[in-house]
A and B are shown apart, each in its own frame.
Chain A
Amino acid sequence: MNNQVEPQHFEFDAIAEADVAKEIALYPPGKQASAVKTLLDIAQRQVGRETGSAWVPRVAMDVVAKRLGVAPIRVYENATFYTMFNAKPIGKYHLQLCTTTPCWLRGSDDIVSACKKISGANFGQTSADGLFTMTEVECLGACVNAPILQINDDYYEDLNAERTEALLNKLKGGEALPPPGSTIGRQASAPITNQTTLLPANGPAE
């Protein structure tokens, strides 16, 4: 995947074009440049649809710059600043592993090992089959359900090594992404044990 060459051409397709028009219209005249991040995201998703690798090639950044009437370098700055934009080709599944303290205390090292085992790739690398790209990230903001693995747009929570391997093996087998959220059936961020507050015995539940 990483040896994929820079494409020579990019053009918004019909699906993207509809979004582009809608997003640009959100800003007052003369302030269209504000739509740069949204447009980059639209472009990245389109490339993902077309090639299975959601990244923003330079030609796409140039198209965004032209559409918004800004210098290309201003778009390059944005696209490289934000980690959600991939300026290089990427695997079909982008595994973003949180290793910040709460996740680490809850065993993120095991998740990292599991991911490395299944994908065969290290952080910053893409697996040989082009399926997985591993990225180490800082806090994903879902510490309650740590440890967290973000695959593409979705969070998979309350993981352990076993469930991580099962999840990735499913993806390897060609299955679609399962529904996101807790992998132990917890409802949202409710306590992992039973309900501990607002119990009827302590008084009337409000």
Chain B
Amino acid sequence: MAKVTVDGIEVEIANGSTVLQAAEAAGVEIPRFCYHERLSVAGNCRMCLVEIEKMPPRPQASCALPVSDGMVVHTDTEMVRKARRGVMEFLLINHPLDCPICDQGGECDLQDEAVSYGRDDSRYDEGKRAVAQLDWGPLVKTTMTRCIHCTRCIRFSTEVAGVSELGATARGESMQVGTYIQKALSSELSGNIIDLCPVGALTSKPYAFTARPWELRKTDSVDVLDAVGTNIRVDARGAEVLRILPRMNDDVNEEWLGDKSRFAVDGLKRRRLDRPWVRENGKLRAASWEEAFAAIAGRMKAVTPDRLGAITGDQCDVESMLALKEFFAALGSQNLDCRQDGAVFDASRRSFYLFNTTIAGIEEADALLIIGSNPRHEAPVLNARIRKRWLAGGFAAALIGTAHDLTYPAEQIGVGPDAITALLDGTHAFSATLEAAKAPMIILGAGVLARPDGAAIHAAAWQLALKYNMLSAEWHGFNVLHHAAARTGALDIGFLPGEGGKATSQMLQDGVDVLWLQGADELDVAAIGAKTFVIYQGHHGDAGAARADVILPGSAYTEKDGTYVSTEGRVQSGFLAVKAPGDAREDWRIIRALSAYMGHALPYDSLQDMRAHLAATYPLFAPANAFRRFAGTDTAAPAGDVSAMSDAPFVPVFETYYQTDAVSRASPTMAACIAAHAPVVAEAAE
């Protein structure tokens, strides 16, 4: 530890820290453009100059200067102010003063610092540097004349995203940040460079010229487009969600957000279900809530409870799933399933289906085996955490399944379950690596569980965890990586077939007469029996709604107070940012209303009652955000016959990253991404 005095405030800070970090510890703000906590130090903007006693009498760049014991730092002397003013003047030489037409206006670091250190006029009479316009694809808009060459975007894409596409070409005044060859950014995390850019050089293309930051209403929420539980901030104006930004949470997403979660926001305005619909004579017609409820009640009362079924989708909040579960319980039906992909596996204990190591825990692992998953597509932010671990060194990764560029080396050691068998026998080359590892972990893709032999592979993966010491009092290395945000929460409240109840596959093919689809769009609707009466409750006119006989318009995740459980078992709540469009209502309230209509009124009328009931019934929801890591002490294996594994190779869950659910399928931006990254076929002929 080193004792450092910053502006008279004494702080103790670890050796190797920088002066800038010491200043932050002392609560002294230092302006910076290139320095960023999660990126390597570049030291090229020179804005963070400070004066240090007993050092050469010139300003020092605090971001790149390590502290030493007894250092006395001054951040507000005449010399420092003068130096920073000089730096600001140089930065502004080539910076166009086009703030009135710049999207960064109001949240621009350069603008803010210019208030403190800028001159009121310019002494520069010469022509400003002009650079060619660049095209980085459908997400990031570039105005490179505004670039101040801080290289944050270059460092982010190289270090965090692991896709080296951006660089600084040429030199001096001709230096340009870019891709050199024209191409769309191919990283799933590319949107983060918009947040990182301290000026208006990189802005959001879909959001261009839409709003000023001070017009926006900011609401904290949780992302549901993957199962990571990324903390987000929803920015809305009026009844419209305009953009989504990440919130900082070191345990989950640090400060990153996947492109789909960030940019699919325009899908929330399209293909929305904003009124109830009832099918009459084979055609859907707009109806009132009363008519819709009458149609449902009439049909539900006409069949026996064992012919009623409910399937929940990938983005449902826990409240609405609980309401549906209890409504069906009141009706006497056991036919519930949250696994619309048809997966059947042992979910009797939480550690069987959680990402037990936790996302932050990845940084403690030293060996990783991925089975049938592509974390880069299924959970890009979590994948960035694995890459971060790999960068730290002493980490070996291997993959069973389709080979992908995961942004860190992962040796493909097999394509199907035979590789798991070999690892269980200890005959595989990777066995030695796992054997030697102190904290090995397995990531089992949720897509694997949807295979006919899913339960067998689930059990086999647990056996692997046992064999390679992944379960101990200090460490839990068995992980299921879900890609559906609702899945963990649904399993936690037991939205599963009850005694003698039917699972998803049995409810399809005329297994039930009335089927309630709660936002379930990823199942094969063609497999629903022709005579089955389908109720679709959801927010988008997607596959489920197209097959429905009655449509109940629900709310998307930005339009309700919802609780979600992430793949690592973290209970998080999002808040209502905007009201749902038209007649659409919050989902659990729809079920509450229908239950009263049918004479089985559920025992909660308000969100507080609902949450209290939830916490009382399932204690893990009780203390908000109480999250703990599990130790691997309970080693009893999940049910499943290891010998029943087939030889079929693992296949990717998603064909593309950009459109995987009803929201992103309705998003024109996501469609543009798919078009931008479509493989070019014609050129090869030349």
Contact = CB atoms under 8 A, between A and B. Distances in A.
Interface of A: 8, 58, 70-74, 76-77, 80-81
Nearest to A58: B181
A81 B169 CA distance: 6
A86 to B, nearest CB: 13
Interface string B668-686: 0000000000000000001
Contacts of B180: 73, 76-77, 80
Nearest to B167: A73
Contact of A73 (B165, B170, B171): B165
Contacts of B169: 76-77, 80-81
Contact of B164 (A58, A74, A80, A81): A74
- Ranked nearest first, the 6 interchain pairs of A and B with the lowest CB-CB distance are A71-B164, A73-B167, A76-B180, A80-B169, A77-B167, A80-B170
14 contacts: A58-B181, A70-B164, A71-B158, A71-B165, A73-B167, A74-B164, A76-B167, A76-B180, A76-B181, A77-B167, A80-B169, A80-B171, A80-B180, A81-B171
A88 B587 CA distance: 62
Interface in B149-189: 158, 164-171, 179-181
Contacts of B166: 73
A188 B168 CA distance: 40
A77 B164 contact: no
A93 B354 CA distance: 67
A66 to B, nearest CB: 13
Contact of A74 (B167, B171, B686): B167
Nearest to B180: A76
A73 B167 CA distance: 6
Contacts of A71: 158, 164-165
Nearest to B158: A71
Given A73-B164, A73-B165, A81 B179 contact: no
Size category of the B interface is 10 to 19
Chain B interface, >50% SS class: loop
A54 B170 CA distance: 18
Contacts, number: 30
Nearest to B169: A80
Nearest to A70: B164
Contacts of B167: 73-74, 76-77
Interface of B: 158, 164-171, 179-181, 686
Contacts of B170: 80-81
Contacts of A76: 167, 169, 180-181
Given A58-B181, A73-B180, A80-B180, 20 more contacts: A8-B686, A71-B158, A71-B164, A72-B181, A73-B164, A73-B165, A73-B167, A73-B179, A74-B164, A74-B167, A76-B167, A76-B180, A76-B181, A77-B167, A77-B168, A77-B180, A80-B169, A80-B171, A81-B169, A81-B170
Contacts of B158: 71
Nearest to B163: A71
Most B CB within 10 A of own CB, among A58, A73, A76, A80: A73
A70 B169 CA distance: 16
B439 to A, nearest CB: 25
Nearest to A79: B169
A163 B164 CA distance: 50
Contacts of A77: 167-169, 180
A80 B171 CA distance: 7
Nearest to B174: A80
A9 to B, nearest CB: 11
B110 to A, nearest CB: 24
A141 B166 CA distance: 34
A80 B165 CA distance: 15
A74 B181 CA distance: 12
Nearest to A65: B164
B248 to A, nearest CB: 29
Nearest to B165: A73
Contacts of B165: 71, 73
A80 B170 CA distance: 4
Contacts of B171: 80-81
A76 B183 CA distance: 14
B556 to A, nearest CB: 38
A71 B187 CA distance: 14
A72 B167 CA distance: 10
> B168, B170, B179, B686: which has the most chain A beta carbons within 10 Å?
B170
A204 B158 CA distance: 65
A151 B170 CA distance: 23
Contacts of B686: 8
Nearest to A62: B181
A76 B167 CA distance: 8
B164, B167, B686, most chain A CB atoms within 10 A: B167
Contacts of A70: 164
Nearest to B175: A81
Contacts of A80: 169-171, 180
A148 B363 CA distance: 58
A112 B251 CA distance: 64
A91 to B, nearest CB: 21
A8 B165 CA distance: 21
Nearest to B166: A73
Contacts of A8: 686
A183 to B, nearest CB: 32
Nearest to A73: B167
A80 B180 CA distance: 10
A70 B165 CA distance: 11
Nearest to A83: B171
A76 B545 CA distance: 50
A26 B429 CA distance: 33
Contacts of B179: 73
A180 B170 CA distance: 30
A114 B171 CA distance: 29
A80 B181 CA distance: 12
A77 B171 CA distance: 9
A50 B96 CA distance: 45
A192 B181 CA distance: 50
B432 to A, nearest CB: 22
B369 to A, nearest CB: 25
A29 B9 CA distance: 48
A76 B165 CA distance: 10
A70 B167 CA distance: 13
Contacts of A73: 164-167, 179-180
A70 B166 CA distance: 13
Contacts of B164: 70-71, 73-74
B172 to A, nearest CB: 9
